[in-house]
Amino acid sequence: MQAPLSKHRILVVEDEPSVRWTFALIFQRHGIETDVAESGREAIALLSRETYCCVLLDLNIPPPDGIELAKFIYENSPETPIVVVSGYPDLAARLKKADLGSVVKLILDKPVDTTYLARHVHADHFCIGESPPPPGTPPQSSAQI
């Protein structure tokens, strides 16, 4: 049996409003609760009182930035998977250097394919918090169907 969907919740951390709401809508369409934060500070406040299946994280956000936030998650709730979204390859490189172990599950370049997000991060019957996606699997050959 699947756990009730209401137990599944995603945090979207993204400073660009249109992108933030696009991401939130993808998950809400699948019945997954979604919280949004536009800065590292807001995200930390939410992370202190909620448990999330996954944090979808833009690196280039008002402080603390995405890399600092990833460190915070790594130190305070290492069981929470992070999916990084970045338009800046140098930030993604800095993140890899930060050595955050296994908390960073995926690093996606912008623009992000929303179908890919739904299938590999969270959909009705798939939760990245419960089963990591196979690395590099293209959306078309997803084993979810």
The residue ranges that bind Zn ion (CB under 5 A) are 8, 53, 127, 129
* Closer CB to Zn ion, 83 or 127, in the complex: 127
* Closer CB to Zn ion, 8 or 120, in the complex: 8
Residue whose tokens read 């930060």: 98
Q: How far is the CB of 96 from Zn ion (least distance, A)?
A: 25
* Closer CB to Zn ion, 10 or 104, in the complex: 10
Contact 57, 85 (CB under 8 A): yes
Question: Within its chain, how far is the Cα of 129 from the centroid?
Answer: 10
Q: How far is the CB of 34 from Zn ion (least distance, A)?
A: 11
Q: How far is the CB of 8 from Zn ion (least distance, A)?
A: 3
Question: Within its chain, how far is the Cα of 32 from the centroid?
Answer: 13
Question: Within its chain, how far is the Cα of 72 from the centroid?
Answer: 14
Question: Within its chain, how far is the Cα of 23 from the centroid?
Answer: 10
Q: How far is the CB of 5 from Zn ion (least distance, A)?
A: 8
* Closer CB to Zn ion, 43 or 55, in the complex: 55
**Per the structure block, which two tokens stand in for 124?**
């009705």
User: Which amino acid, residue 36?
Assistant: V
